[in-house]
Amino acid sequence: MKADAASRALFVGITGREPDGVWSAPGRVNLIGEHTDYNDGFVLPFAIDRRTYAAAGLRTDGRIHVASTFAPGVVEVGLEELDTLFPAGRDAVPEWARYQLGVAWALRRVTGVGVGIDLAIASDVPVGAGLSSSAAIEGAVAVALDGLWGLGLDGVALAQAGRTAENEAVGAPTGIMDQLAAMLGRADAATFIDCRSLETEIVDLGFEGAGLALLVIDTGVKHSHSTGGYRERRDACERGAALLGVSALRDVTVGDLPRAAELMDEVTFRRVRHVVTEDQRVLDTVETLRTEGPRAIGPLLLASHASMRDDFEISVPELDTAVEASVAAGALGARMTGGGFGGAAIALVPKTRIETVKDAVNAGFAASGFPQPHLFTVTPSDGAWQAVSVYCMGGARDPAS
Ligand code: ADP
Ligand code: MG
């Protein structure tokens, strides 16, 4: 069953009635700009054609019931209990429910509004593959609550509620890139984000017209943001910024790097160099997309991967193999995407060469003795929207009719 129908069926299963509506938000791929978000820098993600759906309906008893096809059971809490659960009491609810309840908590805290609600979630965003299933669930719940609670918030405010949920209710120290991408994305375009000002700009990708596809190579190697590697990289960035006398590495340019090399130890310097050159590569990618088109961004993707492999040291052999094999078979560029230590790589591939590149990646993994990766293409797509239809008494109604 498709995820939109599955969320509705789950809703009917747990409540015995039809939902008031089904809302959704997509996963995302970050085209370029890795570990720049928490350094106040630049990122260029796009929303993908895989979405998480939230079927939702109001309750009259001031309680929230949440369920998901991801895990069995229904979690039930009173609205006024949310303030005791988050952030300190989160262990009282299972992790998968903290995203939904955390968004409700964050929106209620900001707006003062809160009404009882039933929420049923289903998703076709793979979990833990670097495609941000977490931002997709936060986005789907945020637009559902915005609609049913009549909040009228904009995409940036809803993204901020998602980030609050992820940081404080789940406890994952992430930036706001994923939530903004899931909220603001546009078909065949990426969302340029200045992570300091939170100003965003839609940048046409033009993959369609250029005959390009974006292949995701999910290595199956599980990453976890809570492990020491991620923390260590953040600490190194903070240390580097402090030594350079700036509040964030965003304020350092490529021209400052020789001075940086003299101020810090070699490892800290390489961490800094990754962030500073990556910020520049994001700006160069936007410029190249506008002047030369998507076929010309390949070298920037490859330089980004090399920087993460050699300077930031967050790649793994499976990701390097994915990049090398896809480029050798005709990809224009490729890089690991997401936080690193596993997860997925992306490759920008002429549509005519997709099968050749897939075969080459599979062969490269087999030759190295790695388990076969999961390969699929993604299409840059629209961000959160009210999907499917609005249900009202007497049955379904198409919102367009
Ligand atoms: P990623 O965002 O890269 O997929 P994360 O570790 O940030 O990986 O988020 C994955 C977690 O998000 C899951 O372990 C689960 O707790 C939650 N999650 C994702 N999708 C769903 C879903 N459909 N229903 C409930 N929880 C989900
Ligand atoms: Mg996530």
pLDDT tens for each residue of 90-113 = 999 999 999 999 999 999 999 999
Tell me, using a 6 A CB cutoff, whether residue 52 lines ligand 1.
yes
Which residues on neighbouring strands pair with residue 213, listed in sequence order?
Answer: 349
ipTM of model = 0.98
Residue 384 dihedral angles phi and psi, to the nearest 5°: -60, 135
Q: Quick one: pLDDT at residue 173?
A: 81
Atom nearest to 225 CA in ligand 1: 6
Q: Which of the ligands is closest to the CA of residue 95? A: 1
Residue 114 dihedral angles phi and psi, to the nearest 5°: -170, 130
3-state secondary structure of 80: helix
Tell me, using a 6 A CB cutoff, whether residue 95 lines ligand 1.
yes
Q: Quick one: pLDDT at residue 207?
A: 98
In the DSSP assignment, the letter for residue 323 is: H
Ligand 1 pocket test, pick from 28, 137, 341 with the greatest ligand atom count within 8 Å of Cβ, gives 137
Q: Quick one: pLDDT at residue 227?
A: 66
Give percent of the chain with pLDDT exceeding 90: 89
Strands 63-68 and 374-378: unpaired
Tell me, using a 6 A CB cutoff, whether residue 337 lines ligand 1.
no
Q: Quick one: pLDDT at residue 339?
A: 86
In this structure, what is the dihedral angle of CA atoms 29, 236, 156, 218, given to the nearest 10 degrees? 20
DSSP states of 187-238 as a string? Answer: TTEEEEEETTT--EEEEE--TTTTTEEEEEEE--PPP-TTSHHHHHHHHHHH
Which residues on neighbouring strands pair with residue 122, listed in sequence order?
Answer: 53
Tell me, using a 6 A CB cutoff, whether residue 73 lines ligand 1.
no
Q: Which residue from 44, 39, 45, 43 is spatially nearest to 273, judged by alpha carbons? A: 39
Per the CB < 8 A criterion, the answer to whether 308 and 34 are in contact is: yes
Tell me, using a 6 A CB cutoff, whether residue 134 lines ligand 1.
yes
Per the CB < 8 A criterion, the answer to whether 37 and 28 are in contact is: no
Told to judge if 284 belongs to the known catalytic residues of this protein, a careful annotator would answer: no
Find the catalytic residue in 20, 40, 118, 178: 178
Interacting residues of 321 by C-beta distance below 8 A, sequence separation 6+: 361, 364, 365, 368, 370
Distance 68 CA to ligand 1 centre (A): 11
Strands 63-68 and 117-123: parallel
Q: Quick one: pLDDT at residue 228?
A: 78
Q: Which helix (H) or strand (E) holds 64?
A: strand 63-68
Q: Which residues surround ligand 2, an ion (CB under 5 A)?
A: 132, 134
Interacting residues of 185 by C-beta distance below 8 A, sequence separation 6+: 26, 28, 45, 46, 47, 191, 380, 381, 382, 383
Distance 397 CA to ligand 2 centre (A): 33
Which tokens in the block code for residue 268? 């800290």
Question: Which residue owns the Cα nearest ligand 1 atom 27?
Answer: 96
In the DSSP assignment, the letter for residue 85 is: H
Which tokens in the block code for residue 277? 């050159």
Ligand 1 pocket test, pick from 30, 103, 133, 163 with the greatest ligand atom count within 8 Å of Cβ, gives 133
Q: Quick one: pLDDT at residue 386?
A: 56
Per the CB < 8 A criterion, the answer to whether 43 and 282 are in contact is: yes
Residue 195 dihedral angles phi and psi, to the nearest 5°: -75, -10
Tell me which residues of the chain have a pLDDT lower than 50. Answer: 226, 388-401
Residue 22 dihedral angles phi and psi, to the nearest 5°: -125, 120
Interacting residues of 358 by C-beta distance below 8 A, sequence separation 6+: 215, 375
In this structure, what is the dihedral angle of CA atoms 123, 124, 130, 133, given to the nearest 10 degrees? -10
How far is CA 253 from its chain centroid?
26
Distance 374 CA to ligand 1 centre (A): 18
CB atoms under 10 Å from CB of 367, counted, come to 10
Q: Quick one: pLDDT at residue 401?
A: 32
Atom nearest to 130 CA in ligand 1: 3
Q: Measured over all CA atoms, what is the biggest interatomic distance in the chain, rounded to whole angstroms?
A: 72
- What global pTM score does this model have? 0.91
Question: Which residue owns the Cα nearest ligand 1 atom 16?
Answer: 96
Distance 99 CA to ligand 1 centre (A): 8
Give percent of the chain with pLDDT exceeding 70: 95
Tell me, using a 6 A CB cutoff, whether residue 133 lines ligand 1.
yes
